[in-house]
């Protein structure tokens, strides 16, 4: 589902990632490990086509990402759910409205949206918070909203950049459970983290980066 073949991505003066090759199949959760500056966010940004690659080839669901034309980027991104450390919720919209937003953008019917949002709110245990605004939620609840918003479109790929960076260990574990559940519907999930003790008990594959290079995968 996510395939890197000798991928290099550079910033104006700096190499972000160098000659990376790895493959993440459908339905797998893989962690992206490494110290600050290792290139974790850069990997996720190349997949989202936020930055372009300067060498190698990158395929998402068989599609060559470098060949996607600018006007097709929004369509390509519909297949990807993003989760960030700082949640990035819309402050003046309720939990329900935040989760509904991607479906509204797709122009889905009211009934369809209501059914999907109900279903996903149940999955992440947010039904009781549906009418609250982000400022009224704990960090863990905010991150559950953000995951629900990423999942509601049934994406092929979920990218989570340090999603547990601001959360305590118990809440972090709940977030990992949700990302693991997301693989049941076939999504490939790639989550970056510094936190080895958090991910170690899960016995999942991890890709380790240092200074933009692959240490293992």
Ligand X SMILES: Nc1ncnc2c1ncn2[C@@H]1O[C@H](COP(=O)(O)OP(=O)(O)OP(=O)(O)O)[C@@H](O)[C@H]1O
Q: Select the residue interacting with Mg ion from 4, 31, 41, 100 (CB under 5 A).
A: 41
Nearest to Mg ion of 36, 109 (CB atom): 36
Q: Which residues of this protein are in contact with ligand X, per CB under 6 A?
A: 11, 14, 16, 34, 36-42, 194
Nearest to ligand X of 42, 164 (CB atom): 42
Nearest to ligand X of 42, 94 (CB atom): 42
Nearest to ligand X of 75, 216 (CB atom): 216
**Least distance CB 44 / Mg ion (angstroms):** 8
The option from Mg ion, ligand X, none interacting with 128 (CB < 5 to 8 A, set by class) reads none
**Least distance CB 34 / Mg ion (angstroms):** 9
The option from ligand X, Mg ion, none interacting with 37 (CB < 5 to 8 A, set by class) reads ligand X
Nearest to Mg ion of 40, 149 (CB atom): 40
Distance, CA of 204 to CA of 217 (rounded, Å): 11
Nearest to ligand X of 34, 102 (CB atom): 34
**Least distance CB 161 / Mg ion (angstroms):** 6
**Least distance CB 48 / Mg ion (angstroms):** 13
Q: Is there binding between residue 98 and Mg ion (CB under 5 A)?
A: no
**Least distance CB 37 / Mg ion (angstroms):** 8
The option from ligand X, Mg ion, none interacting with 109 (CB < 5 to 8 A, set by class) reads none
3-state SS record for the chain: CEEEEEEEEECCCCEEEEEEEEEECCCCEEEEECCCCCCHHHHHHHHCCCCCCCEEEEEECCEEHHHCCHHHHHHHHCCEEEEECCCCCCCCCCHHHHHHHHHHHCCCCHHHHHHHHHHHHHHCCCHHHCCCCHHHCCHHHHHHHHHHHHHCCCCCEEEEECCCCCCCHHHHHHHHHHHHHHHHHCCEEEEEECCHHHHHHHCCCEEEEECCEEEEC
**Least distance CB 52 / ligand X (angstroms):** 13
Query: Which residues contribute to the site for Mg ion (CB under 5 A)?
Result: 40-41
């Amino acid at each position: 589902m996510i395939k890197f073949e000798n991928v290099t991505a550079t910033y104006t003066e700096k190499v972000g990632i160098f000659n990376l090759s790895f493959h993440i199949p459908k339905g797998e959760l893989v962690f992206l490990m490494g110290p600050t500056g290792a290139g974790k966010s850069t990997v996720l940004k190349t997949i989202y086509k936020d930055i372009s690659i300067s060498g190698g080839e990158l395929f998402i669901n068989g599609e060559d990402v470098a060949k996607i034309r600018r006007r097709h980027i929004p369509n390509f991104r519909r297949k990807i759910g993003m989760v960030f450390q700082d949640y990035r919720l819309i402050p003046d919209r309720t939990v329900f409205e935040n989760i509904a937003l991607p479906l509204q953008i797709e122009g889905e019917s009211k009934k369809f949206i209501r059914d999907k949002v109900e279903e996903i709110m149940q999955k992440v245990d947010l039904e009781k918070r549906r009418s609250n605004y982000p400022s009224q939620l704990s960090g863990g609840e905010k991150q559950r909203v953000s995951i629900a918003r990423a999942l509601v479109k049934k994406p092929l790929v979920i990218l989570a950049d340090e999603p547990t960076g601001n959360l305590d260990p118990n809440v972090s574990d709940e977030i990992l459970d949700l990302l693991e559940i997301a693989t049941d519907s076939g999504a490939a999930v790639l989550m970056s983290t510094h936190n080895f003790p958090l991910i170690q008990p899960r016995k999942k594959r991890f890709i380790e980066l240092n200074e933009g290079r692959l240490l293992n995968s």
